[in-house]
A and B are shown apart, each in its own frame.
Chain A
Amino acid sequence: MAADGTQQQQSALSAEDPVIQMRNAKVTFDDGESYVMNDISIDVRRNEIIGVVGESGSGKSMFAESMLDAIPDPGVLTGKVEYLAEDGREIDVLGLSKEDLRQMRWEEISMVFQGAMSSFNPTMSVKGHFVETLKAHDYEVEPGLDRAHELLEDLYLEPDRILNSYPHELSGGMQQRALIALSLVLEPEVLVMDEPTAALDLLMQRSILMLLEELQDKYDLTMVFITHDLPLVASLADRLAIMYAFRLVEVGPADEIIANAAHPYTRALLNATPNLDAPLDEMRPIEGSGPAPINLPSGCAYHPRCPLADEQCRSAVPEFQQTDADHAAACYNWEEATDQIPLNYEDMLDDTATSEGDVA
């Protein structure tokens, strides 16, 4: 168990070939009185898809924005965020000048937000957006537009029609896909997406996820997918990171978290999620509600809602504990969680998906 959480990182949270390293990253809006993202240390591995899951107000958007040092004012981000490019450059994201940061965004790490319409300029055609982006980063326009064509085709769009349209002429699903194409036109290594599909219907969400998987494969991308929807991202992500009350509480391979979630919150979240397989009578809401950033519960912030909470949980914030080779949870009582909080879809799980098969 790491005492200070800085150097001795556990293996689920660190990696041999990381692309982004976060260490003790914290965000405060009132000079350290309270944190809307607290003490997050994790490595994003090269070419993985990591799903970051949390409810409204759990700090997950701060997590996304931290990677680009894009916390809105007057938020203050402290700690360390390092970007390790494939060519060996090590970039301290928080130490970059404004100009360097501007260049790094889109060229190395790009970001897609929920609601494409608010990311597009309504008075400019889609092609205009591509041209402007290419010019702003001193890329050649012609080869850039060729890439745009290819990307749009990859996303099952008709390139010429889309490029000559204005954003409002496209459906929500087309806008969001055009935005994804735009975010990839400068060939970034990392794509950070904050609820990229939340405003769309389920069929379009699912279709976009399928396309993202193809894009990741084709362009060797690293993807960070932020969402409140655990089952949605579970089908796409290699690993999941679960956030609760501004901290990470569990990190592990997606299928292992589904089959063997270690943190009581993750288990409760899985049981609370309507799905097509679980017996209906066993779906249960999580009692109580998530805490606000001021007056956080002492110790483990989940303890007031947790059936396993004891004295220890009330007094000190639990460190991450390795529950399996590549799986860690910040809970003192994770060993009891499996028995005490059964998953309501357990009978449905594929036998092959249990832990043994997944230890890398």
Chain B
Amino acid sequence: MSSQPVLSLDGVEVHFENQRGLMGIGQEPETVRAVDGVTIDIEERDVVSLIGESGCGKTTLGKTCIGLQRPTGGTVEYRGHDMWDVRDGKSDSDLEWDDIRQSLQIIHQDPGASLNPNRRLVSILSEPLRQVSPDLSKGEKRERIYSLLEHVGMNPAADFAERYPHQLSGGEQQRVALCRALLMNPDVILADEAISALDVSLRVEMMDLMLDLQDEFDTSYVFISHDLSNARYFTEHGNGKIGVMYLGQLVESGPAEQLINEPKHPYTEVLRWATPDLSLEQTGDMPMRKIDIPDPIDPPSGCRFHTRCPEAREVCKRETPETYQINGQRAACFRRDESHDYWDSPELVD
């Protein structure tokens, strides 16, 4: 059992049907292909970071991982069992849907909006304890809440516990959201842009805290970010991998440092270019032909990145690249295959 991943996604697709307005009655509904054919495993105490532009499907994929979004194709397995079969009562395992959902938690980008403004922290944090360990006495619950608040640096805990969410700073609110998720003893926490709203100087601290608590609570993280340098910090410290998404597809994945230093997909290079660094070197021209991401309702044919890719050739328009394995990295680009027709194909001209 130990080598089995906690979550295993195979060929996952999430397509949303977008009904046309009144004028469109009788027409086929538009399909937004938010996630298209993603295969990825999340191990015990793993860190998987998903990065990409707004609208690339990283949040939808994250929600699919933790059972908040039902895939329209492919399978999501929790410890070897298809979680949606469990949900529908079709599974032969003795897993309960509620137990699966309980072990998969989420923290959001805006912690202020995810905490009930009318309840004190002690009451917000008692809720998960009531679910997980209903036998605890009131005093024991308080004790656990206080010790966790202290652990996340909110001292004095007894004082903080009596506060309302609006009496906390953004960083403190996010720590409470993290505590609340952890009190459920989850296997996986989806952190959806969880540090993006924090001040730059607080981000490292929050990431350190999340990693520190990972050791203690034995959880895995799915960390969603649009910022490669945050993903690098979090993933490298957590010994995990980064997955780069583009228009619903995973175009590259691999260990953080390797993926950043030797990107194998031109889109990863674009993200590298977009990440500010302090090295004072001239970053050079934009390695991309167009600024705006294409509409996911009608994604480009072939390799979806071909409309913006600086290396695109005719073949990229026609054929979809398979995923190539290169030293622990995976990349979906013809350029990784030295004998591919790509190299004889004429360059794309706009």
Residues of chain A at the chain B interface (Cβ within 8 Å)? 55-56, 156, 171-174, 200-207, 210, 228-232, 234-235, 255, 258-259, 268-270, 272-278, 280, 283-286, 289, 345, 348-350, 353
Contact present for A202 and B274 (CB under 8 Å): yes
Contact present for A171 and B199 (CB under 8 Å): no
Contacts A/B (CB < 8 Å), 14 sampled: A55-B200, A173-B54, A201-B53, A203-B274, A204-B291, A206-B273, A206-B274, A231-B276, A273-B200, A275-B275, A276-B229, A276-B272, A280-B237, A348-B278
Q: With CB as the reference atom, state the residue of chain A lying closest to B228.
A: A276
Contact present for B204 and A232 (CB under 8 Å): no
Measured between beta carbons, the chain B residues less than 8 angstroms from A259 are 280
Contact present for B292 and A173 (CB under 8 Å): yes
Contact residues on B (Cβ < 8 Å of other chain), bracket? 35 or more
Contact present for A207 and B279 (CB under 8 Å): no
Q: Which 10 A-B pairs have the closest CB atoms?
A: A285-B205, A231-B276, A206-B274, A201-B226, A203-B274, A274-B229, A353-B280, A272-B201, A274-B233, A55-B199
Contact present for A276 and B280 (CB under 8 Å): no
Q: Does B232 contact A (CB under 8 A)?
A: yes
The answer for the CA separation of A156 and B308 in the assembled complex, in Å, is 13
Measured between beta carbons, the chain B residues less than 8 angstroms from A174 are 292
Residues of chain B at the chain A interface (Cβ within 8 Å)? 53-55, 169-171, 199-205, 207-208, 226-230, 232-233, 236-237, 260, 270-281, 283, 286, 290-293
Measured between beta carbons, the chain B residues less than 8 angstroms from A56 are 170, 199
Measured between beta carbons, the chain B residues less than 8 angstroms from A231 are 276-278
Q: With CB as the reference atom, state the residue of chain A lying closest to B256.
A: A280
The answer for the CA separation of A55 and B171 in the assembled complex, in Å, is 13
Measured between beta carbons, the chain B residues less than 8 angstroms from A200 are 54
Contact present for A235 and B236 (CB under 8 Å): no
Q: With CB as the reference atom, state the residue of chain A lying closest to B209.
A: A285
Contact present for B279 and A348 (CB under 8 Å): yes
Minimum Cβ distance to chain A for residue B110 (Å): 12
Contact present for B276 and A229 (CB under 8 Å): yes
Contact present for B291 and A345 (CB under 8 Å): no
Contact present for B226 and A203 (CB under 8 Å): yes
Measured between beta carbons, the chain A residues less than 8 angstroms from B260 are 276
**Quick one: which of B227, B233, B276, B281 contacts A350, CB cutoff 8 A?**
B281
Minimum Cβ distance to chain B for residue A274 (Å): 4
Measured between beta carbons, the chain A residues less than 8 angstroms from B171 are 289
Minimum Cβ distance to chain A for residue B32 (Å): 14
The answer for the CA separation of A143 and B153 in the assembled complex, in Å, is 59
Contact present for A275 and B200 (CB under 8 Å): no
Contact present for B200 and A269 (CB under 8 Å): yes
Contact present for A275 and B229 (CB under 8 Å): yes
The answer for the CA separation of A276 and B274 in the assembled complex, in Å, is 11
Measured between beta carbons, the chain A residues less than 8 angstroms from B270 are 203
Contact present for B271 and A202 (CB under 8 Å): yes
Contact present for A171 and B55 (CB under 8 Å): yes
**Quick one: which of A229, A255, A280 contacts B233, CB cutoff 8 A?**
A280
Q: With CB as the reference atom, state the residue of chain A lying closest to B201.
A: A272
Contact present for B278 and A258 (CB under 8 Å): yes
The answer for the CA separation of A286 and B171 in the assembled complex, in Å, is 13
Measured between beta carbons, the chain B residues less than 8 angstroms from A207 are 274, 286, 291
Q: With CB as the reference atom, state the residue of chain A lying closest to B54.
A: A201
Contact present for B200 and A206 (CB under 8 Å): no
Contact present for A274 and B201 (CB under 8 Å): no
Measured between beta carbons, the chain B residues less than 8 angstroms from A235 are 276, 283
Measured between beta carbons, the chain A residues less than 8 angstroms from B236 are 280
Contact present for B233 and A283 (CB under 8 Å): yes
